[in-house]
Amino acid sequence: MSADISALQRVRLAYRPKLPKALRTNNIRIELGAPTKPLSDEEEIRRRFPETCGQPVATIVEGNSDLNTETLNVGVVLSGGQAPGGHNVIAGLFDALKAANPNSRLFGFLKGPAGVIKGKCKEITAELIDQYRNTGGFDMIMSGRDKIEKPEDLAACKQNFESMNLDGLVIIGGDDSNTNAAVLAEYLRKEKSKTVIIGVPKTIDGDMKNEQIEASFGFDTACKTYSELVGNICRDAMSAVKYWHFVRLMGRAASHVTLECALQTHPNVCLISEEIQAKGTTLAEIVDYIVDVILKRAAAGKNYGVVIVPEGLPEFISDIKRMIDELSTILGRDEQYIRDLPDQSERFQYVTTRLTADSAKVYGSLPQDIQEVLLHRDSHGNVPLSQVETERLLIDLVSDKIRFLKSQGKTEAKFSSLSHFFGYEGRCAMPSNFDADYCYSLGYAATQLVRAGLTGYTVNIRNLTRPADEWVAGGTPVTMMLNMEVRKGKAVPVIKKALVDLQGKPFQYFSANRERWALGDEYVFPGPVQYFGPPEVADAPTITLQLERS
């Protein structure tokens, strides 16, 4: 790491994250609730997780401590995409371990789950962690997207844990990585290993949430960072009065990030994939809707505006979704073969002859670069949506339509467009106070679950819209969040992704206001993340969380 640090980073290194009241004392115990059930597909999930399915919900409460105070060796790994606050989870883990027993040790596995399989790690010392407190990024131990899944990988992990005398491993990851944590926990239990596995809910996408897990960490900072940028663009649009800005926002399948940014900035158009899917809206209808807003604004003398779209959009447009699902099945069978074909035209030929006629037509209508991206899946079977330039596709289709309408003498709208993608800009931002506190608390609580010998749990902190003092920490059995889904053509157990709830308050608020935002210039400018100042500026959680919990 560079020896030069910014003035802000210097000050942030000294920031003391807030903890829930119960975690501020060493006199704590775990209270266990009633046995739990998987979300659905109970029989199949019980069959696959006989050792860990049905475990009770855990809550950390004050008093009568019976937690392990012996010396513990604990590992930590960062899995998947970066999210602001990862270093604070590790800081919380470290501080809690040392508070319980100063001889306990924490080891960071390097470059994600691959480091766990290969047994590559470094010890997290006080000197090391002190350089990373309250910083963004995952660079202290780095991340990766490998999956611990094959029998030989599971066996390698067990062996590494034995040789390190590891009492617990904390996997910081999203829905797929927490699912993976459950698989590893189940395997280790069956093998009578002493190592317990605890997951931490991470992802800027905001899609790992449920009754127990109110938010994934990183969503807060990422959305605030993107909202600052979208707000700045809104102001530029109304200053220059000559551009339509099309902004795609990261967030994978779910539209939580885009919805939060809309709530924070009030753009003229915001597409929510879940609504598009529910209504069965086609690509042509989406284009018609955007063109309609552009023409109405042009008629009012406003040849400018801002459109925001979620990166997951293509997977929610009915005909494109069908085509992607068919492609996934083909890739599940022949991925390597397709990869090895020498050029794009052969891949195109191979795929289109195996798709149904309708899907082949949809695939053929997409630009070549998008066709190529759609032939890839990550280790969890996800389409690499961050590389699909939906904003450009929409600009092309909207331009064509406006050109056509002009040729018919139906409009005189001027349409000049610019495209943006905000994704990687927000994933390593310096964590907001909310994420700094939340992540530190998650790490602190994860240590307590390890001390209690629990395995196959995702740590949770509830009551997040209240001051940190009133937050409640605990653990959710991962099997409670599982359902069966088809990935790469095979049914597998996975944590159900939380998509935008169209009956939920955040969407309802957006839906009630979007018409006004479309035609008026009702933009809001959130400005940059603030670390100092009144709590309503520096500590407030996202609007989504506030509305959901109100």
Query: CB-wise, 196 or 204, nearer to ligand FBP?
Result: 204
For residue 204, the minimal CB distance to ligand FBP (Å) is: 5
When binding is defined by CB under 6 A, the residue of 17, 81, 168, 475 that contacts ligand FBP is 81
Name the minimum Å distance from CB 425 to ligand FBP.
Answer: 11
- SS3 (DSSP) at 341: coil
Residue closer to ligand FBP by CB (options 250, 446) is: 250
Q: Quick one: 337 or 424, whose CB is closer to ligand FBP? A: 424
Nearer to ligand FBP, 136 or 305 (CB): 136
| Near ligand FBP by CB under 6 A: residue from 205, 220, 228, 274 | 205
Near ligand FBP by CB under 6 A, which window of 80-88, 148-156, 475-483, 516-524? 80-88
Q: How far is the CB of 361 from ligand FBP (least distance, A)?
A: 27
Distance (Å, rounded) from C-alpha 402 to C-alpha 409? 10
CA 102 to each of CA 86, 359, 448: distance values in angstroms, whole numbers, following the listed order: 23, 60, 15
Choose between 198 and 204: whose C-beta lies nearer to ligand FBP: 204
* Residue 80 touches ligand FBP, criterion: CB under 6 A: yes
Residue (of 290, 312, 292, 294) closest to 303 by Cα position: 294
Nearest in space to 147 (alpha carbons), one of 107, 183, 187: 183
Q: Could you give the CA distance from residue 276 to residue 233 in angstroms, rounded to a whole number?
A: 25
Choice among 167, 176, 205, 437 that is catalytic: 205
Please report, to the nearest 10 degrees, the dihedral formed by the alpha carbons of residues 406, 266, 262, 424 taken in order.
80
Q: Among 74, 100, 198, 204, indicate the residue that binds ligand FBP (CB under 6 A).
A: 204
Q: How far apart are CA 419 and CA 443, in angstroms?
A: 38
Question: How far apart are CB 522 and ligand FBP at their closest, in Å?
Answer: 28
- In the complex with ligand FBP, which residue's Cβ is closer, 20 or 144? 144
Distance CA 347, CA 423 (A): 29
How does strand 457-462 pair with strand 472-477?
antiparallel
Tokens, residue 119: 């047994």
The structure tokens listed for 445 are 């609580």
Is the CB of 427 or the CB of 451 nearer to ligand FBP?
427
545, exposed or middle or buried, with CB in 10 Å at 0-12, 13-18, 19+? buried
State yes or no: residue 209 binds ligand FBP (CB under 6 A). Answer: no
In the complex with ligand FBP, the residue whose CB is nearer, 256 or 347, is: 256
Q: Would you count residue 497 as binding ligand FBP (CB under 6 A)? A: no
* Nearest approach, Cβ of residue 145 and ligand FBP (Å): 6
Distance CA 137, CA 411 (A): 48
C-alpha distance from residue 410 to each of 295, 299, 402, 525 (Å): 10, 11, 9, 34
In the set 38, 75, 84, 174, which binds ligand FBP (CB under 6 A)?
Answer: 174
Query: Which of 133, 224, 401, 427 is close enough to bind ligand FBP by CB under 6 A?
Result: 427
- Phi/psi for 456 (5° steps) reads 75, 30
What CA–CA distance (Å, rounded) separates 124 from 130? 10
User: Exposed, middle or buried: residue 437 (CB in 10 Å: 0-12, 13-18, 19+)?
Assistant: buried
Residues 6+ apart with CB under 8 A from 440: 17, 18, 19, 88, 89, 91, 92, 95
Using the rule CB under 6 A, which residue among 65, 101, 212, 386 binds ligand FBP? 386
Minimum separation from the CB atom of position 427 to ligand FBP (A): 6
Phi, then psi, of 243 in degrees rounded to 5: -125, 145
The span of 77-85, 99-107, 186-194, 356-364 binding ligand FBP (CB under 6 A) equals 77-85
Smallest gap from residue 313 Cβ to ligand FBP (A): 12
Show the binding pattern over residues 130-169: x = contacts ligand FBP (CB under 6 A), - = does not: ---------------x------------------------
Taking the C-alpha atoms of residue 229 and residue 235, their distance in angstroms, rounded to an integer, is: 10
Query: Interior CA angle at 49 toward 110 and 498, to 5°?
Result: 70
Residue 205 annotated as catalytic: yes
Binders of ligand FBP among residues 229 to 258 (CB under 6 A) are 250-252
Question: Smallest distance from the beta carbon of 199 to ligand FBP, in angstroms?
Answer: 13
| Number of residues engaging ligand FBP in binding (CB under 6 A) | 15
- Restricted to residues 305-324, the positions that interact with ligand FBP (CB under 6 A) are 311
- Min. distance of Cβ 246 from ligand FBP in angstroms? 18
Q: Which residues bind ligand FBP (CB under 6 A)?
A: 80-81, 83, 145, 174, 203-205, 250-252, 311, 385-386, 427
Enumerate the active-site residues.
205
